Structure 1
């Protein structure tokens, strides 16, 4: 029971951090008005945050790798709470930007430690399911963070919107202090030993596949509203409701993916790519019709969220000797995948029309499939053949 509660507390922290990162999207117009800056300048609050995560993730995680995990989790959520508190009363845009930049360095540290802590808190065969529960916080933060923060900002004020994230992070801190046991690093890995995993070619194949999977996901999801407006002809209010449905089904899909990964990682990711491809084809051919598209969104949300934990598990499966550093690589390259996916999806949208952005997602799916196929053929197949040969020799 205590282990399960600890997992949910860590997941709440993930929600608070993701809401800090993405929730600001829902209040950008208010920020622009408050500080008298352009929409593009206000948008820098989001893009700078993501860029710092992508660039600093592995290095920040290395820096904190020898510290008690409970201490790190508590430290990060306190920094995020203070950041949101100061943001609520920032006198200038520059101060607000500083409040965004500093905690962004610690964002990948929390995620890396959170995934590793969740996985280590249960038997090995249940690790994927435990990580899936942590990913639930990520899913809720990504899909519901924007509308929740937007609602609070519109209903109350910009200050209250920031204070909401501060309160979530402080509640998480209290939970960490009271219910999460001390998690000292039993065997401190040297920086060199952690960096050495980067020399494994099979890890780079997994990194590439994960990056392409995230790109495939976000090349469409980034233009979710545009697609439903231009192709399905949905109203703004209906789209907001669709986002909620998308997020709710995502929680279910996330937990299901964790269970399947616990059984067989390779089969799960192979089936997943086919399933996501099928969903994208359904979106392309049935996206013009309101009711079929509503059903597709339910399925899409579940498949989308499942891809996050599948990408994380696939990447880290080749770096079990340095789990926290591997998780930081996932955070960095996942963000890089988001950048690639959004860019190519935008190119398809501008050059070929909204309806054609589906093919940007399918293009990335093909690249991910190639990476996975090559990795299985060159490394996994060779390794299993070698083991079979050794067993025959021993007999």
Structure 2
């Protein structure tokens, strides 16, 4: 028997197991209304919005945080890169260890940790305590991302699974449009501690939504570290994780340094950069929900098209990009294409190993967060040596590699 046939049998058996577990879950828990299910999905989207806002919150406040804690701006920057590193390293093992906990009460625990960590950051007067608070939140961050979408698709009818995924992941784009800019504005006007109080209050709101609308959801999967070894045996999942690592490294390689690119290459005034980033986020919000209408019908085609077109956009930005009108057009295209990727990638991962969907998602989360650090680091080396323009070409190469891996690896698995 070939490896491909074995993997297909594994998936078929996993689907049967998942169906059996779902039937058992339905019998063990009260039926919840469709409205209550969608309200719980919206609560999860608010949770995604909260976590993404918290992750990126220090970026716009680094000078103030550095002054307030008596460290350099570079050291203060570790509050972002260190956060991503901790989330990447702990997402898979912590999710596996929490595999037997009812998902409602796991979410309650995660939001309590999230809220406590941010309120601890708000009262921190020194860098050590602030970094500790960030690490506490990062531990919850990786697990939340690993389970949020897999929980959302259990709250709605199966035919609405991709739509629920796009609603939950819409919190990413919404954080770019509203969360991070508002957090920065609050921190600049009322002090950086006030910004952490604000995201702490968001945590209370998400906690309330979970308690009010989330039904009891028995855990799925084996609930052990062995689940990670099980999902790693699936070749298609390894391909999906590899594509995630490539495309997200490329995105953050370029996007981390988009501000100096816009200033130095396109000649955009610094006062307009914030507006252009809002345009990028708004385009992403549109792209996120547009992806929900396409991904369910043509997943592989969506991934190949998004990664390939993103490679083209980034290459054009390297080759030209002069002028505000061109910059706006390219940023809109970038935002639309990038926002489709988390929806498509997360849907891909969930479909591959349904019997261990959360363990599989934890590997995806680890790759995603690891890519933030890797991409930003490579981009920094390029900017320091050659300026911001070449980062677009390097990012385009990562996107092209992701497209090839999707096309070739995905076809072999099919």
TM-score, normalization by structure 2: 0.87
Once the two structures are overlaid, the 10-residue window that deviates more, 334-343 or 287-296, is 334-343
Of 27, 43, 60, 1:9 maps to 43
Contact 1:210 1:315 (C-alpha < 8 Å) held by counterparts:
no
Distance 2:282 2:187 in 1: 22
* Cross-structure match for 1:104: 138
* Cross-structure match for 1:278: 312
Contact 1:116 1:324 (C-alpha < 8 Å) held by counterparts:
yes
How many angstroms does 1:286 deviate by? 4.1
How many angstroms does 1:118 deviate by? 0.9
* Cross-structure match for 2:250: 216
CA deviations on 1:234-262 (whole Å, 9 max, x unpaired) are: 12221001111111111110111122111
How many angstroms does 1:278 deviate by? 2.7
**What 5-or-longer segments of structure 1 have no aligned partner?**
381-395
Q: Secondary structure at the match of 1:65?
A: coil
CA deviations on 1:157-213 (whole Å, 9 max, x unpaired) are: 222111100111111111111122221226655542453111222321221111111
Q: Secondary structure at the match of 1:105?
A: helix
Contact 1:16 1:165 (C-alpha < 8 Å) held by counterparts:
yes
* Cross-structure match for 1:39: 73
Distance 1:37 1:345 in 2: 24
* Cross-structure match for 2:32: none
Alignment of 1:111-150 (within 5 A): 111-142=145-176, 144-150=178-184
Distance 1:187 1:282 in 2: 45
Distance 1:285 1:33 in 2: 39
Contact 2:143 2:362 (C-alpha < 8 Å) held by counterparts:
yes
The reply to whether residue 237 of structure 1 matches residue 274 of structure 2 is: no
Distance 1:373 1:202 in 2: 12
How many angstroms does 1:33 deviate by? 0.9
Contact 1:203 1:315 (C-alpha < 8 Å) held by counterparts:
yes
Contact 1:344 1:360 (C-alpha < 8 Å) held by counterparts:
no
* Cross-structure match for 1:369: 403
Distance 2:69 2:373 in 1: 27
CA deviations on 1:21-65 (whole Å, 9 max, x unpaired) are: 111222121111111111122112112111111111100101111
Distance 2:220 2:347 in 1: 23
Contact 1:281 1:358 (C-alpha < 8 Å) held by counterparts:
yes
Runs of 4+ in 1 over 6 A off after TM superposition: none
Distance 1:285 1:126 in 2: 41
**What 5-or-longer segments of structure 2 have no aligned partner?**
1-34
Once the two structures are overlaid, the 10-residue window that deviates more, 346-355 or 240-249, is 346-355
* Cross-structure match for 2:114: 80
* Cross-structure match for 1:287: 321
Of 49, 55, 59, 1:21 maps to 55
Distance 2:286 2:68 in 1: 39
Of 285, 300, 307, 1:251 maps to 285
Alignment of 1:337-352 (within 5 A): 337-352=371-386
Distance 2:68 2:228 in 1: 45
TM-score, normalization by structure 1: 0.91
Contact 1:214 1:308 (C-alpha < 8 Å) held by counterparts:
no
Q: Secondary structure at the match of 2:352?
A: coil
